[in-house]
Amino acid sequence: MEKLSDQEYMRYSSHLLLEDVGEQGQLALRNAKVLIVGVGGLGAPVALYLASAGVGRLYLADDDHVELSNLQRQIIFSQRQLKQEKVSAAKASLTQLNPHIEVTAFAQRLTPKSANNEMLEVFEQVDLVIDCTDNMQTRQTINKLCVMHKIPLIVGAGIRMEGQLISFNAQESDSACYHCLYPFNETTDVNNCGTSGVLGPLVGVIGSLQALEAIKCLTGMPVSSFNRLMRFDGKTLQWQNFSVIKDPECSVCSAN
């Protein structure tokens, strides 16, 4: 039977104490393959928490380089990594944090056209995808691929003082998808965090919740954000949550 090493027992002892995780849950994390698209304000805490939790294989996709203005919120990077590819810099940080995991870096943008290159093969392998991107078009592409390959998807977004979180499980036939919620390719707010502004801890809150939902999903716990949109107001600390149901005419998840 598969077992954790002595080193792993010590490292993950706080997980092992949890009834909901235990050794079986930790082994599930070790065997898991997770794709994180976008290594920015959301992707940074997601990648750090999943690496420290012992998710065995992490795939990172982002075509940007580390800029000085990223360091205000993208806590996986440090000053000495300026100008490096984000995915390479993140891989170095994660490997230093946890030598038990494998990190694969894709320094490329996920576009509908790149959807037939090696990124597509990743969608065929992974157990879970986490959307940490900064634009609607990529979000729609990720959603389509997750629906096509029946992969659970955890979506986070944050700008200024507002955050949103929602997850979908395409393995369930009655699951909604991102396109049921937002059936358009553009937001009126075309700005990104670099031009509209955002507080670092705001994306930290949403990214941390994405990591929490990911761990729950991978260890078989119920995922409360499936088909449920959570909105967070960083000014008042108020949360709103809304149910989202499948659109029976959705061109992505109901097309057949």
Partner 1 sequence: MKLIINDEIKTLAVTTVSSLLTVLEQPDKGIAIAVNQAIISRKNWDDFQLSENDQVTLFQAIAGG
Q: Tell me which residues are annotated as active site.
A: 193
Name the β-bridge partners of 85: 65
Is residue 155 within 8 A of residue 213, CB to CB? The reply is no
Residue with tokens 């592409």: 141
CB of 135 to partner 1, least distance (A): 5
Point out which span in 12-20, 75-83, 108-116, 176-184 binds partner 1 (CB under 8 A): 176-184
Is residue 168 within 8 A of residue 227, CB to CB? The reply is yes
Alpha helices in the chain (DSSP H): 6-11, 13-16, 22-31, 43-53, 86-97, 118-125, 136-149, 178-181, 193-196, 200-218
Residues 218-237 that bind partner 1 (CB under 8 A): 229, 231
Interface with partner 1 includes 203 (CB under 8 A)? yes
Burial class (CB in 10 A: 0-12, 13-18, 19+), 164: middle
CB of 193 to partner 1, least distance (A): 5
Residues 20-39 that bind partner 1 (CB under 8 A): 38
Q: How far apart are CA 145 and CA 141, in angstroms?
A: 6
Among 23, 64, 127, 162, binds partner 1 (CB under 8 A): 162
Q: One-letter amino acid identity for 123?
A: F
CB of 212 to partner 1, least distance (A): 17
CB of 40 to partner 1, least distance (A): 5
Q: How far apart are CA 103 and CA 205, in angstroms?
A: 24
CB of 182 to partner 1, least distance (A): 5
Point out which span in 53-61, 82-90, 96-104, 245-253 binds partner 1 (CB under 8 A): 245-253
Between 26 and 133, name the residue whose CB sits nearer to partner 1.
Answer: 133
Among 13, 24, 111, 241, binds partner 1 (CB under 8 A): 241
Between 149 and 246, name the residue whose CB sits nearer to partner 1.
Answer: 246
Q: How far apart are CA 130 and CA 153, in angstroms?
A: 6
Residue 17 CB partners (closer than 8 Å, separation 6+): none
Interface with partner 1 includes 208 (CB under 8 A)? no
Interface with partner 1 includes 188 (CB under 8 A)? yes
CB of 75 to partner 1, least distance (A): 14
Between 21 and 165, name the residue whose CB sits nearer to partner 1.
Answer: 165
Residue 145 CB partners (closer than 8 Å, separation 6+): 115, 120, 123, 129, 151
Interface with partner 1 includes 64 (CB under 8 A)? no
Interface residues with partner 1 (CB under 8 A)?
38, 40-43, 131-136, 139, 156-159, 162, 164, 180-184, 186-189, 191-193, 196, 198, 203, 229, 231, 240-245, 247, 249
